[in-house]
Structure 1
Amino acid sequence: MNTVQLGKIKIIDPRELWSNEERDFTPWLAENIEALSEAIGFPIEVEQTEKAVGKYELDVVGKVVGTDKVVVIENQLEKSDHKHLGQLVTYAAGLNASVIIWVTPYVEDEHRRAVEWLNEITDEQVNFFLVRPEAFRINESLPAVKFYVETAPSHFVRNLREAYKREDAPRHTFRRMFWQEMFDYLAADNHPNAKGRQTSADSWVGFSVGKSGVSVNVCMGQGSKLRIELLLSASTREQNEKAYEMLKRKQIEIEKIMDGETVLWDEMGSAKSCRIAVNYAYDKARAEDDASYRKELFKWIAPNLSRLRRVGAEYLAKGNE
């Protein structure tokens, strides 16, 4: 009889990994933001660490990938306390944040309840998360960290509220189903930023490429077309034009990466952003009713999403000229 040998998990004190919150833990969290993104269900891109907000300093500020939604992250290595809760709310107000995340390895019950209450009294535009990092080893292995969401907005309730408020709820219902099935398909294929993603009623979802102001979005475009776009959405038109022109100089290389897909090069007229994209015409009515047809669409989305993320990472995130 074969016996499977299993290692023993040993929980370790986070101070064994990071002796100082500001110098050690905050930089590590910023560099490993995808692990936190996976835990909370949507991708975050870091813009700055130790950002001044009035006379205080916020640990991490960023955005939800492909949007203007501000994310603030306050982290600590000790038990949750009133000081950090107060700072979190102060930073959220000062930056008009949409996503507020408190990362602490030891969660006190009164602080969990405080975050739950904040979610209860705010609408879907403001979302509070309480996240616990757990450090561990298996036998004598290298240490590892896993994030556990202790409390988060009730998206079921908020999505239901949104559906009641809008007349076009059937369209939103289809989008949520489509995106959820797409995330599941991509996660099964080990695609980054797909596992654990929360579904959305929006007509697009975004994926990070590792650079602020650049994202790859999957969109339900007008005219029953799926679109995957590498969107350049930095704060100024000049920045986006510069990045676009750099990509344009690499057009032959990029179109080779896209493996025969027709690439749309779009400066987007007077808009601030620029993009390159690929399109796929689909039957929306069939997509609503036919799961096997949706899977065909996901088979087109998956490789092209990976290709455009590769373009973003190789030509923009790494600063290639």
Structure 2
Amino acid sequence: MLPPTSPRYQLGTLKTVPLRTMWPHEALDFTQWLGQHENLALLCEELEISVENIRMEVASGRYNADIVAELSGSKKVVIIENQLETTDHKHLGQLLTYASAHDASVIIWNVSDYTEEHRQAIDWFNQHMPESISFFLVKVELWQIGDSLPAPKFNIICQPNNWAKTVVQASREEGSGPSDLKLLQQRFWNGFKEWTQQQRPQSQLRLGRTPRPQHWYTISFGTSKATISLTTNSRERRIGCELYIREDAALYDRLAADRAAIDQALGDQPEWMDLPDSVAFRIVKYHACSPLDETQWPTYFAWLHTQAEIFQRTFRNRF
């Protein structure tokens, strides 16, 4: 047995770093940093959302909202107010002003710390506002091990009681409530997540996202540059696994230069899709099947799980 002083047991010390050492100015430093797509993706991953059309310092009457964006695939507005200090009434008022001016559906308040009164206020909003409107209070931290670079951490303090339910309810209020197919898709991804959890400890996948009534399910694997996306398509009678790259043509070109090795690692001749608008890029494999046949779902789960692990191994060290 090794003694406690053995180098094998030497560990680094995890410590917090004051936010102002990295971002001295709230608007000029932190907001500009967070407004970059790869950085905002870190926050979005924690909140289980995806955004597009990101804009910074957007005029709202006499004031400017820090960040305004849209939920991907919809026109729902996301408002982000940043405060690198403890919450106060002034910023809470600004948050509500911006939300009103832009008719926001998702309102996010990033802070370095918070008072109990303001936490209760955000909880109250989530309890009494229509379920199509969601408030998040997020505590921002920087963590460092030894002399490593500081790493950001977004801690959700307040959120809607049932975030998945909120998304579904919002669709209902727009007159396009979840169809039977959408509900079936949500049940499919719930089943996939449960099936994957039963494979531990052998499974290398970590599924943190809450399944939603949609035809895709995304998996993060240690980078903000891309995600692994699993899909189900009953109309074209197939399921799929893909690497999804957004707004990074240089990354796609770099992977394409190594296409022969990647194709060999993935197997079965994956499709490389350079979409016309150059906004998103995909490397995808499909499996012909009948997604509506629930008796075959365990077989489909196994195929998706295997492919996701292959994609994860293939691309993990290529970023």
TM range (shorter): 0.5 to 0.7
Cα separation, 2, equivalents of 1:20 and 1:183: 44
**Alpha-carbon deviation of 1:75?**
0.7
Query: Gapped runs of 5+ residues in structure 2?
Result: none
What are the Cα deviations for residues 112-154 of structure 1, in whole angstroms up to 9, with x where unaligned? 1111121112344322111101123334433222111001112
Give the structure-1-normalised TM-score: 0.67
**Is 1:220 matched with 2:225?**
no
Counterpart selection for 2:30 from 25, 45, 54? 25
What are the Cα deviations for residues 236-262 of structure 1, in whole angstroms up to 9, with x where unaligned? xxxxxxx9xxx9xxxx98997777547
CA contact (8 A) 1:11 1:137 kept: yes
Amino acid at match of 1:8: T
CA contact (8 A) 2:241 2:304 kept: no
CA contact (8 A) 1:69 1:98 kept: yes
CA contact (8 A) 1:42 1:197 kept: no
**Is 1:153 matched with 2:154?**
no
Query: Gapped runs of 5+ residues in structure 1?
Result: 235-242, 314-321
**Is 1:2 matched with 2:7?**
no
CA contact (8 A) 1:255 1:263 kept: no
Q: RMSD between aligned alpha carbons? A: 4.7
What are the Cα deviations for residues 143-166 of structure 1, in whole angstroms up to 9, with x where unaligned? 22211100111227827985x987
- Quote the residue 1:89 is aligned against: 96
Cα separation, 1, equivalents of 2:24 and 2:263: 45
Fraction of identical pairs, as percent: 30
- Shift of the 173–205 alpha-carbon distance from structure 1 to 2, 3 Å rule, reads closer
Q: Secondary structure at the match of 2:120?
A: helix
- Shift of the 60–142 alpha-carbon distance from structure 1 to 2, 3 Å rule, reads same
Q: Residues 1-321 of structure 1: matches in 2 within 5 Å?
A: 1-3=2-4, 4-31=9-36, 32-45=39-52, 47-155=54-162, 158=165, 168=180, 171=184, 173-178=186-191, 180=193, 196-205=208-217, 218-221=230-233, 222-226=235-239, 261=269, 263=271, 279-284=286-291, 287=294, 290-291=297-298, 293-300=300-307
- Shift of the 292–143 alpha-carbon distance from structure 1 to 2, 3 Å rule, reads same
**Alpha-carbon deviation of 1:55?**
2.1
| Number of residue pairs aligned between Structure 1 and Structure 2 | 289
Amino acid at match of 1:220: T
Q: Secondary structure at the match of 1:105?
A: strand
The more displaced of 221-230 and 102-111 is: 221-230
- Quote the residue 1:316 is aligned against: none
The more displaced of 279-288 and 82-91 is: 279-288
**Alpha-carbon deviation of 1:34?**
2.3
CA contact (8 A) 2:70 2:78 kept: yes
CA contact (8 A) 2:228 2:308 kept: no
Cα separation, 1, equivalents of 2:167 and 2:73: 24
Amino acid at match of 2:29: D
CA contact (8 A) 2:15 2:143 kept: yes
Q: Secondary structure at the match of 2:303?
A: helix
**Alpha-carbon deviation of 1:65?**
3.4
What are the Cα deviations for residues 212-253 of structure 1, in whole angstroms up to 9, with x where unaligned? xx999654322532256899999xxxxxxxx9xxx9xxxx98
- Shift of the 146–307 alpha-carbon distance from structure 1 to 2, 3 Å rule, reads same
The more displaced of 152-161 and 91-100 is: 152-161
Higher relative contact order (CA 8 A, sep 6+): 1
Cα separation, 2, equivalents of 1:33 and 1:274: 17
Amino acid at match of 2:12: G
